[in-house]
């Protein structure tokens, strides 16, 4: 189908999208130059595959127990005394990372817990950005007005409150569920987003294209969300990655303290269980894997965030 100037619809779409595709390609090339960012992306892909297809990677289902498999039954006294069992590779059962005190395979629990970690990380990071980025945009655009002062005083008050104790109170009051943990983390982690986005907006609103939009009669909402927001979104993505890492570490801390949804599998609950059972010093195959997974997934988000910061800031 040809347009009025003689070009086809396909050619028109290519002209519109080619510059954006080229910018994405240049950004991807710069990103892949950072070894940390590449490692972080690989780790995140692995954890994402675990979360999406746990049955493909896990040696058993979460219901599997040592000696019995998935069949209901009772363990003998000798079998109970052998738990938690160190890694076994077929004799008397297959558990490449050993078992916990209940006979569940550690490798299976580690893989199935990836879904909870990524869900909490992405959800809390996204909610934090949805609060911090708009407030930062509004605060920066209306700088030195009562709107800016109100938002910044709220930020000051929130910064004065201790993060983890406040989160513990919020979760304890509202109920210990995964949703409440996510909401509690989001409520207490949007501050850095707001402050950095505000500073960037204060600079961007003085640019000539923003002034031109105002002269053309654009409303404040259009100027903020159409002309300024696209330029601060890359910074928002950086903080989203960092907030996701913080959320995963925080959830693990809450789980270790006994403030987590014990109906969901998570690495923090695995650490809490080994502490409760008293095998911290005698069952390293139970202790080390969940701790390493928390470290790796948090590092993956931080690596991606740091690399994205270099890519989105051309002055660095």
* 88-89 and 94-95 beta bridge pairing: antiparallel
Q: What is the DSSP string of 205-230?
A: TTSHHHHHHHHTT--HHHIIIIIIHH
Tell whether the model's pLDDT for residue 214 goes beyond 70.
yes
Summarised one tens digit per residue, pLDDT across range 107-120 is: 999 999 999 889 98
Instruction: Write down the pLDDT at residue 19.
Output: 67
Q: Return the ∠ at Cα 206 (arms to 202 and 211), rounded to 5°.
A: 130
- Both tokens of residue 224? 């903020």
Rounded CA gap, 117 and 194, in Å?
25
Average pLDDT (180-193) is 82
Burial class (CB in 10 A: 0-12, 13-18, 19+), 170: middle
Give the integer Cα–Cα distance in Å for 284 and 296: 18
Q: Looking at the predicted structure, is the pLDDT value of residue 151 above 60? A: yes
C-alpha to C-alpha distance for 264 and 207, rounded to whole angstroms: 49
Question: What pLDDT shows up at residue 90?
Answer: 81
Give the other-Cβ count within 10 Å of 196's Cβ. Answer: 19
Q: How many CB atoms lie within 10 A of CB 203?
A: 12
Flag the least confident range among 141-150, 252-261, 263-272: 252-261
- Count how many residues are written for the chain: 316
Q: What are phi and psi of 69, to 5 degrees?
A: 70, -130
Q: pLDDT value at position 112?
A: 94
Longest dimension (CA), the chain: 85
Which of helix, strand or coil describes residue 89?
strand
Alpha-carbon gap, residue 9 to 133, rounded angstroms: 36
Top-tier CATH class for 115-312? mainly alpha
> Two tokens at 302?
């931080």
Domain ranges of the chain: 115-312
pLDDT digits (tens, 9 = 90+) for 32-67: 777 888 888 899 999 999 999 999 999 999 889 988
Q: What is the pLDDT of residue 2?
A: 47
Cβ contact 246:189 at 8 Å? yes
Q: What is the pLDDT of residue 10?
A: 61
Global pTM reads 0.81
């Amino acid at each position: 189908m040809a347009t009025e100037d003689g070009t086809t619809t396909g050619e028109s779409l290519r002209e519109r999208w080619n510059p954006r595709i080229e910018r994405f390609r240049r950004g991807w090339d710069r990103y892949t130059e950072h070894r940390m960012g590449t490692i972080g992306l690989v780790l995140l892909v692995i954890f994402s595959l675990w979360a999406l297809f746990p049955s493909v990677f896990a040696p058993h289902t979460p219901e599997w127990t040592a000696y019995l498999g998935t069949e209901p039954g009772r363990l003998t006294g000798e079998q109970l005394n052998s738990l938690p069992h160190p890694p076994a590779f077929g004799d008397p059962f297959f558990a490449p990372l050993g078992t916990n005190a209940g006979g569940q395979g550690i490798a299976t629990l580690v893989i199935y817990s990836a879904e909870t970690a990524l869900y909490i990380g992405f959800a809390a990071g996204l909610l934090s950005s949805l609060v911090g980025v708009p407030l930062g945009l509004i605060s920066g655009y209306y700088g030195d007005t009562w709107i800016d002062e109100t938002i910044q005083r709220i930020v000051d008050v929130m910064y004065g409150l201790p993060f983890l104790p406040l989160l513990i109170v919020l979760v304890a009051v509202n109920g210990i569920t995964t949703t409440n943990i996510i909401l509690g983390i989001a409520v207490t982690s949007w501050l850095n987003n707001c402050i950095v986005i505000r500073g960037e907006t204060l600079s961007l609103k003085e640019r000539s294209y923003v002034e031109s939009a105002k002269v053309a009669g654009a409303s404040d909402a259009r100027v903020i969300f159409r002309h300024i927001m696209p330029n601060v979104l890359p910074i928002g993505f950086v903080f989203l990655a960092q907030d996701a890492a913080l959320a995963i570490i925080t959830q693990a801390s809450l789980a270790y303290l006994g403030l987590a949804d014990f109906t969901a599998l998570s690495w923090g609950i695995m650490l809490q269980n080994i502490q409760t059972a008293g095998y911290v010093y005698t069952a390293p195959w139970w202790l080390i894997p969940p701790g390493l997974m928390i470290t790796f997934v948090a590092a993956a988000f931080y690596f991606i965030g740091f690399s994205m910061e270099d890519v989105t800031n051309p002055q660095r």
